[in-house]
């Protein structure tokens, strides 16, 4: 049986993404790293938004027309008054000339006020176009130029053509620098009411970009760009991980009505945080949080006192580190065990500023319907659970003694059929059960330990 199509996962993730971004309650730096468009080095969600905007079909279509449209840019022909002495080039404005001379007692008959025709380019509509085009060129230059072009229509010749069109256009160069242009509602409205598509469509695209970057997600154009942004993961398993992650966050908000999702203040830290006066829940995605999943060899004791099997493991890892350095020119840390789960959920009780870790869920996501991959994921999950430490304490020991902090495992697959859904401290969920949670349907809790 085939796996759930990427399009199905994408639709769900996009809907959840828009919801949580609108509330400002996700760690957007981690989200950008998770999406990580086509191996681009995306530093923030804003960078990703800008990148997706310049790849947006309406933007591409607009830019294809810009060179032709700029030949018919709007101008304003005016009569400009000048004060001259002696030489006259233009039409004399006698009333103003008389007024000027009267200020000096009519002692200088060489003074004149003349008018001459001038062409004005610094108009509201043109300012909108210059600001928009400058933002687009800047993004393409910073995010795409110099990278591999196999995934983008912005190859080097196309970038050069656009840059030349914008930077060398004599009409746009008559306007102030784009950085100095602060668009007002009056200027945007003037562009929107123009009969010229250069301005009307330019205003629509600028508003979309402005709303996108300022987290105004109600606009249909903004939502479309965000949906395209979620297409970004080149590997579908990343979409599946985000699908699982959003299901857990949704489940937490429903199971803990006394807590609220809080904005993330730092790029380093949890993916999401829920808090109340008595409780704090941290959701870590591809991060270990306050736990340790690394077991160095020096924690095992003297090597010669260890069983021969363990000694062989140590020797193999030592040889590996040496040979990897010889082959690749880089050293590797020697550890008996090291891992990083897909999900770590930490529930703390909060009492007078004293935070006490009470419950932990460790999750592993496998975009598979294969029993073999399920088995592999189950082994990885159990290793995480057995090696998870808070400082020097192994959580599995507290769980066995029914003490806190207790640790529970969560394995998610795309639809592996199992005889049981819960065995001991491990729960298995499939895309079907996660979809029920996201659709608001009652069912088996995703995280039975977080009650």
DSSP 252-286: HHHH-TT-EEE----SSS-SEEEE-SSEEEEEEES
| Position 423 pLDDT exceeds 90 | yes
| Average pLDDT value over all residues in the chain | 84
Residue 378 pLDDT > 90: yes
Residues 377 and 394 grouped into a single domain:
yes
Identify whether the C-beta of residue 394 lies closer than 8 Å to the C-beta of residue 371.
Answer: no
Q: Clarify whether residues 344 and 325 are in a common domain.
A: no
Three-point CA angle 436, 239, 407, nearest 5° = 65
Pick the residue with more confidence: 360 or 215? 360
To 10 degrees, the CA torsion angle through 409, 415, 417, 420?
30
pLDDT band at 78 (very low <50, low <70, confident <90, very high): low
Is 200 part of any domain? yes
Residues 288 and 408 grouped into a single domain: yes
Shared-domain flag, residues 331 and 343:
no
> Of the residues 306, 338, 370, which one is the last residue of a structural domain?
338
> CB count, 10 Å around CB of 128?
27
Q: Is residue 248 part of a domain?
A: yes
Whether residues 406 and 280 share a domain: the answer is yes
The answer to whether position 8 is within a domain reads no
pLDDT at 341: 96
Q: Is omega for the bond preceding 405 within 30 degrees of 0, making it cis?
A: yes
Domain match, 399 and 348 both: yes
CB atoms inside a 10 Å sphere around CB 223: 19
In this structure, the answer to whether residues 418 and 282 fall within a common structural domain is yes
User: Do residues 267 and 390 both lie within one domain?
Assistant: yes
Distances (CA, A) of 207 to 94, 218, 225, 335: 47, 12, 13, 52
Pick from 111-115, 138-142, 324-328, 420-424 the range whose average pLDDT is largest. 420-424
The 10 Å Cβ neighbour count of residue 298 is 11
The domain boundary residue, chosen from 338, 373, 396: 338
- For residue 269, what are the domain limits? 236-293+339-438
Instruction: Note whether 344 and 289 are within 8 A (CB).
Output: yes
Structure confidence at residue 441 (pLDDT): 54
Is residue 347's pLDDT more than 80?
Answer: yes
Query: Is residue 432 exposed (0-12), middle (13-18) or buried (19+ Cβ within 10 Å)?
Result: exposed
User: What total number of domains does the chain contain?
Assistant: 4
**2 within a domain of the structure (yes/no):** no
Q: What is the DSSP letter of 347?
A: E
Which residue would you say has higher pLDDT here, 147 or 69? Answer: 69
Instruction: Identify whether 280 is part of a domain.
Output: yes
Per the domain annotation, does 221 fall within a domain?
Answer: yes
Residues 272 and 343 in one domain: yes
Indicate the pTM of the whole model: 0.74
Strand spans (E) along 121-188: none
312 and 174, same domain (yes or no): no
Looking at the domain assignment, is residue 357 inside a domain? yes
Q: Please, which pLDDT band fits residue 221 given cuts at 50, 70 and 90?
A: confident
pLDDT at 313: 87
Residue 361 lies in a domain: yes
Residue 415 has a pLDDT of 92
* Whether 276 and 365 share a structural domain: yes
What is the per-residue pLDDT for 28? 77
Angle, helices 431-438/6-23, rounded to nearest 10 degrees:
40
pLDDT digits 0-9 by tens, 21-64: 767 778 877 777 776 565 566 667 788 888 889 988 899 999 99
Last-in-domain residue among 205, 230, 255: 230
Same domain, 198 and 86: no
**The pLDDT of residue 448:** 47
């Amino acid at each position: 049986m085939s796996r759930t199509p990427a399009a199905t996962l994408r639709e769900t993730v996009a809907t959840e993404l828009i919801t949580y971004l609108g509330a400002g309650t996700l760690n957007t730096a981690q989200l950008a790293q998770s999406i990580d468009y086509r191996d681009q080095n995306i530093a923030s969600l804003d960078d990703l938004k800008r990148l997706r905007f310049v790849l947006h079909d309406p933007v591409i279509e607009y830019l294809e027309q810009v060179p032709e449209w700029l030949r018919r840019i709007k101008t304003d022909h005016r009569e400009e008054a000048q004060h001259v002495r002696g030489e006259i080039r233009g039409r004399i404005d006698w009333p103003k000339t008389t007024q000027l001379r009267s200020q000096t007692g009519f002692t200088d008959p060489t003074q004149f006020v003349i008018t001459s025709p001038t062409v004005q380019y610094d108009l509201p509509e043109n300012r909108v176009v210059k600001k928009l085009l400058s933002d687009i060129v800047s993004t393409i230059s910073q995010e795409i130029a110099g990278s591999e072009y196999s995934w983008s229509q912005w190859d080097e010749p196309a970038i050069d053509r656009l840059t030349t069109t914008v930077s060398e256009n004599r009409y746009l160069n008559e306007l102030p620098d784009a950085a100095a242009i602060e668009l007002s509602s009056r200027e945007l409205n003037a562009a929107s009411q123009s009969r010229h598509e250069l301005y009307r469509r330019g205003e629509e695209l600028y508003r979309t970009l402005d709303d996108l970057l300022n987290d105004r997600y109600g606009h249909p154009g903004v939502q479309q760009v965000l949906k395209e942004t979620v297409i970004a993961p080149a590997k579908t398993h990343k979409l599946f991980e985000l699908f699982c992650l959003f299901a857990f966050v949704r489940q937490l908000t429903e199971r803990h009505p006394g807590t609220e999702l809080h904005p993330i203040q730092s790029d380093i830290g949890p993916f999401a945080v829920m808090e109340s006066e008595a409780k704090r829940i941290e959701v870590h995605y591809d991060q270990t949080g306050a736990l340790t999943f690394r077991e160095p060899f020096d924690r095992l004791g003297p090597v010669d006192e260890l069983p021969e099997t363990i000694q062989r493991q140590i020797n193999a890892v030592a040889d590996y580190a040496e040979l990897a350095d010889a082959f690749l020119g880089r050293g590797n840390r020697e550890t008996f065990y090291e891992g990083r789960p897909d999900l770590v959920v930490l529930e703390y009780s909060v009492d007078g500023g004293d935070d006490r870790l009470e419950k932990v869920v460790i999750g592993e996501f496998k975009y598979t319907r294969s029993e073999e991959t399920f088995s592999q994921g189950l082994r990885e999950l159990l290793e995480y659970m057995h090696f998870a430490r808070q400082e020097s304490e192994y959580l599995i020991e507290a769980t066995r003694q029914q003490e806190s902090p207790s640790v529970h495992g969560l394995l998610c697959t795309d639809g592996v059929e199992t005889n049981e859904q819960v065995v001991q401290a491990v729960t298995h969920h499939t895309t079907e059960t996660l979809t029920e949670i996201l659709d608001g349907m009652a069912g088996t809790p995703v995280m039975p330990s977080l009650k």
